[in-house]
Amino acid sequence: MTDKYAQLVNQGLGKNVAKKLGLPQPAVLRRYEPGQPLVTGPVVVLGETAAADKLAAELLSWDLDVRRHAVPREKLGAIILVLDEVAHPRDLEKPVLAAAGSLRDLGPCARVVTVSRPSGETDTPAAAAARQGVDGFLRSLAKELRAGATGNGILLDGGVEAASPSVLAALRFFLSGRSAYVDGQFLTVSSAAGSLPDDVERPLAGKVAVVTGAARGIGAQIARTLHRDGATLVLVDLPAAGDHLAAVANAVKGTALQLDITREDAGQRILEHAVQRHGRLDIMVHNAGITRDKLLANMDHGRWSSVININISAQLRINEALLASEHFGPAPRIVSVASTSGIAGNRGQTNYAASKGGVMGMVRATSSLVAAAGGTINAVAPGFIETEMTERIPFALREVARRANSLQQGGKPADVAETIAFLASDAAGGINGEVLRVCGQNMVGA
Amino acid sequence: MTDKYAQLVNQGLGKNVAKKLGLPQPAVLRRYEPGQPLVTGPVVVLGETAAADKLAAELLSWDLDVRRHAVPREKLGAIILVLDEVAHPRDLEKPVLAAAGSLRDLGPCARVVTVSRPSGETDTPAAAAARQGVDGFLRSLAKELRAGATGNGILLDGGVEAASPSVLAALRFFLSGRSAYVDGQFLTVSSAAGSLPDDVERPLAGKVAVVTGAARGIGAQIARTLHRDGATLVLVDLPAAGDHLAAVANAVKGTALQLDITREDAGQRILEHAVQRHGRLDIMVHNAGITRDKLLANMDHGRWSSVININISAQLRINEALLASEHFGPAPRIVSVASTSGIAGNRGQTNYAASKGGVMGMVRATSSLVAAAGGTINAVAPGFIETEMTERIPFALREVARRANSLQQGGKPADVAETIAFLASDAAGGINGEVLRVCGQNMVGA
């Protein structure tokens, strides 16, 4: 679970040697801790639209140092590039070149965030070209940024305005250390729903959250992060993992539920436990998942069906039970863990990629059902995350997989957990049916 | 333009050495030539739906050797996996494991093609999961296939039936050597429009096609391929490329039009030339494009604006002129050349990726306008293609770029040209607003 190479090339002699040899020097990412400033320096808001004015005013109200024009040679914490009114590809040049002029002033782990609108079939061809141009631009720029800086985009869908709660929440997420390993990605805000928290450091206060596969690894970290953000936790895992599960439950002052999630009545049992022990259920995190890798030529019934049953069929059945219940909500949140393997496929993982592709299809198709209940469903798609599981990958293969992303390193379970905590919050109520990759802009071949 | 490494490891001593050392051994791909058999052996059609029956009957009528169940140890030309009725992830297992049992029997440059339906917001969650599961499955499988075999999928959108002209045309394309470098991709057929050609070897007979940037490289090859398929060609390029342009025009018995496509009246001039010299205009291929690579921190007005003007703004203006004309059609086709850089971004190419992202946004938004005129607009997105341009990339970087795809080699201009010829044909009338990657399943990080 430690990236010894990254440690080596970031200190003392190793740092000098790596630099001289031109070896990758993955930056130490700035990760969120309570009390940490949102950004590391002044924020420049570029763009001459009403949305840019609104966002700049909002950032001022967050006590940030806000500039509408860059001051030469001042170390910046972030550049926000507001492109919501581009109607023709030629409109991109002015704001883009303004941003270009400030790139060298970005400090370590700085942020570039674009705010624009998604291109669609009903746009004029010129507007669609300009909007989709932002996509190619931002993904290229994210590959150029160095020293732990990232680039991500917020897409205002339909009539959503820049000052909508989920736009502000997404902006805060992308600026903060919570999004350390999210890079080169776009997140669509499709409604003005959602409400900002009273306490930004405890956005999940008063919520009851269930996490499956919580005994270890990413699941255990999700529990810790949701607890830190104020939630009361129900930790679910197999009876065989009982000791680990109890330890996690103790650490986060939650309750443990030993349960095989593939049982017919798993959803009912989760509901019963949450309501009986904690009086409610607000957040369902589908984290439990397994791999049974094998080339398809050698695939068998056991490997295929166990992966499909646990990784997707169980989620479908549990969601159905939750959505039929009056105890789920009033603003329910479902967050599923997908995978970049489900987006791009992966050699040896036809079963796993089918199940994780399935999760993403399920999330999109379930979004209108959850919206009808006043809630949202979204997925995160982790790339290479440093866990006990990836620790077992042979060294050379692991090294390649670790570095094949714009941040030249694997992510941490906390990076996945932070993204889930964000999507589970009330403030993310305008984000529904989306998949957000947590992968350092992994070169996965989608 | 030659891949000397691939030549070396595919013959004599080099072949043995590469095998012993475990070096990549990119296969020699089977590329289309007139008169060539469609596939290299029997075709197994798996799946127990009405669509599977229809497709099997259709393939029989093409004089192929068709099996509904694999015969052990018979070398196969293709497996067609019909999954159009999967309604739950559990439905995938039976056909998938049937395919698994035949994978070892696939001959060199064999094909796997899935036929399924796209997942959407209005599906049941279980159906959406099953459908999106096909996506993760197929992309994984494509990464497992070896010896030049590829895997691609056809998506039947809305009410489109398996026997629709464009489904059959897409199936023929994916089975044939025309799609040699298309791998891990899905193509959506969204309407029953389109008509199959009288002569499958001259599907563009009687058509007049314009190709921009036709003096060299991919553009010249597009001209040759469209000519081979029966089209009459108008070749467009800058006056400075006049000699090369004239040579290509002579070779394909077409006419040359020296024109700067960024002129205000470029569309009118193209129309005038085509109508005056050839009496009509059916097919517009937007191939002309430039790169002016530079990190964004060093980007300037000249580099940014020239790329945007030539690569996207010119296409917008020309399309507007064509769609306003009564001489474009009656079943007009527009095909644009995009790029995997526009999908995933590329370091040093913020301008190019913005322009190529723009092309894809434009194509989607123009599709309803072209449909109203009885036609289609689509894009191809090439990955690493062996041209004079890529020949100038430094050796080590070029080697990495060449191998970072499932076929472990760069594509050829002919691969891009074949895909354009297919999308330009009458048979592809049910395919509109799509982007098809020609990239060997390039690891681009989208």
Q: Residue B222 half-sphere exposure, CB side, CA atoms within 13 Å?
A: 33
Query: Does B8 reside within a domain?
Result: no
Query: Does A194 reside within a domain?
Result: no
Contact B99, B114 (CB under 8 A): no
Average pLDDT estimate for A352-370: 98
Q: Residue B192 half-sphere exposure, CB side, CA atoms within 13 Å?
A: 7
Average pLDDT estimate for B151-157: 98
pLDDT tens for A102-111 read: 999 999 999 9
Q: Cβ contacts (< 8 Å) between B404 and chain A: which residues?
A: 443
- Tell me if A92 and B361 make a contact (CB, 8 A cut-off): no
Q: Do B165 and B254 fall within a single domain?
A: no
pLDDT score at B446: 43
Q: Is the pLDDT of residue A195 over 90?
A: yes
For the annotated catalytic residues of B, the residue numbers are 352
pLDDT band at A1 (very low <50, low <70, confident <90, very high): low
Average pLDDT estimate for A211-235: 98
Kindly state the tokens that stand for A114: 């674009």
Query: Does B19 reside within a domain?
Result: no
pLDDT tens for A397-426 read: 788 788 888 999 999 999 999 999 999 999
Q: Do A332 and A230 fall within a single domain?
A: yes
**Lowest mean per-residue pLDDT among A48-57, A403-412, B35-44, B187-196:** A403-412
**Average pLDDT value over all residues in chain A:** 94
Query: Does B13 reside within a domain?
Result: no
The b/e string for B331-356 (b: 16+ C-beta within 10 A; e otherwise) is bbbbbbbbbbbbbbbbbbbbbbbbbb
Residue A334: its H or E element: strand A328-337
More confident residue, B15 or A26: A26
Kindly state the tokens that stand for B126: 């279980």
Query: Does A202 reside within a domain?
Result: no
Q: Is the pLDDT of residue A202 over 90?
A: yes
pLDDT tens for A308-349 read: 999 999 999 999 999 999 999 899 999 999 999 999 999 999
Instruction: Give A 294-313 residues with CB within 8 A of chain B.
Output: 295-301, 304-305, 308-309, 312-313
Q: Do B293 and B415 fall within a single domain?
A: yes
Instruction: Give B 129-148 residues with CB within 8 A of chain A.
Output: 129-144
> What pTM, to 2 d.p., does this model score?
0.95
Using CA atoms of B30, B31, B37, B42 in order, give the dihedral in degrees to the nearest 10: 40
pLDDT score at B2: 67
Query: Does B357 reside within a domain?
Result: yes
Kindly state the tokens that stand for A406: 């714009």
Contact A328, A316 (CB under 8 A): no
Cβ-Cβ pairs closer than 8 A, A with B, add up to 314
**How far out from the chain centre does Cα B113 lie?**
15
Q: Do A137 and A227 fall within a single domain?
A: no
Average pLDDT estimate for B80-84: 98
pLDDT score at A21: 67
Return the sign of the alpha-carbon dihedral for residues A173, A175, A181, A182: positive
Q: Which residue has the tokens 């270890």?
A: A216
pLDDT band at A2 (very low <50, low <70, confident <90, very high): low
Rounded to a whole number of angstroms, the CA Rg of chain B reads 22
B362, B366, B432, B439: best to mutate for the A interface, most A CBs within 10 A: B362
ipTM: 0.95
Average pLDDT estimate for B284-304: 97
The domain total for chain A is: 2
Kindly list the strands in the beta sheet with B76-82, ordered across the sheet, starting from the edge strand earlier in the chain.
B66-67, B43-46, B76-82, B106-116, B150-156, B186-189
The b/e string for B177-216 (b: 16+ C-beta within 10 A; e otherwise) is bbbbbbbbbbbbbbbbbbeebeebeebbeebbbbbbbbbb
CA distance B340 to chain A (A): 10
Q: Do A224 and A139 fall within a single domain?
A: no
- Tell me if A357 and B93 make a contact (CB, 8 A cut-off): no
Q: Is the pLDDT of residue B21 over 50?
A: yes
Kindly state the tokens that stand for B355: 């322009």
Name the residue among B128, B296, B312 with its Cβ closest to that of A364.
Answer: B128
Partner A contacted by B348 (CB < 8 A): yes
Q: Do B164 and B303 fall within a single domain?
A: no
pLDDT score at A446: 43
Query: Does B141 reside within a domain?
Result: yes
Return d(Cα B342, Cα A338) in angstroms, integer. Answer: 25
pLDDT tens for B386-428 read: 988 788 888 877 887 888 889 999 999 999 999 999 999 999 9
Return d(Cα B244, Cα B254) in angstroms, integer. Answer: 13
pLDDT score at A7: 75
Name the residue among B300, B365, B443 with its Cβ closest to that of A124.
Answer: B365
- Tell me if B296 and A99 make a contact (CB, 8 A cut-off): yes
Query: Does B366 reside within a domain?
Result: yes
Q: Do B176 and B233 fall within a single domain?
A: no
Q: Note down the domain range covering B38.
A: 30-189
Q: Do B289 and B412 fall within a single domain?
A: yes
**How far out from the chain centre does Cα B277 lie?**
29
pLDDT score at A444: 59
The b/e string for B91-121 (b: 16+ C-beta within 10 A; e otherwise) is bbbebbbbbbebbebbbebbbbbbbbbbbee
Q: Is the pLDDT of residue A34 over 70?
A: yes
Q: Do A185 and A270 fall within a single domain?
A: no
**Lowest mean per-residue pLDDT among A62-71, A146-155, B134-143:** A62-71
Q: Do B61 and B93 fall within a single domain?
A: yes
Q: Is the pLDDT of residue B14 over 80?
A: no
- Tell me if A119 and B365 make a contact (CB, 8 A cut-off): yes
**Average pLDDT value over all residues in chain B:** 94
CA distance B391 to chain A (A): 22
More confident residue, A227 or A10: A227
Average pLDDT estimate for B14-24: 70
- Tell me if B140 and A360 make a contact (CB, 8 A cut-off): no
- DSSP notation for B55-82: HHHHHHHTT--EESSPPTTPPEEEEEEE
CA distance A249 to chain B (A): 31
- DSSP notation for A282-305: EEEEE---------GGG--HHHHH
pLDDT band at B24 (very low <50, low <70, confident <90, very high): confident
Name the residue among A89, A135, A361 with its Cβ closest to that of B132.
Answer: A361
Q: Do B141 and B240 fall within a single domain?
A: no
Coil vs helix vs strand at B228: helix
Q: Is the pLDDT of residue B209 over 60?
A: yes
Q: Is the pLDDT of residue B444 over 70?
A: no
Q: What is the CATH number for B395?
A: 3.40.50.720
Average pLDDT estimate for B315-334: 97
Residues forming beta bridges with residue A236, ordered by sequence position: A212, A257
Q: Do B180 and B224 fall within a single domain?
A: no
Name the residue among B89, B144, B299 with its Cβ closest to that of A355.
Answer: B89
A317: left (phi over 0), alpha (psi -120 to 50) or beta: alpha
pLDDT tens for A118-142 read: 999 999 999 999 999 999 999 999 9
Which entry of A5, A32, A181, A352 is annotated as an active-site residue?
A352
- Tell me if A129 and B359 make a contact (CB, 8 A cut-off): yes
**Lowest mean per-residue pLDDT among A74-78, A291-295, A400-404, B129-133:** A400-404
Neighbours of A101 (CB within 10 A): 15
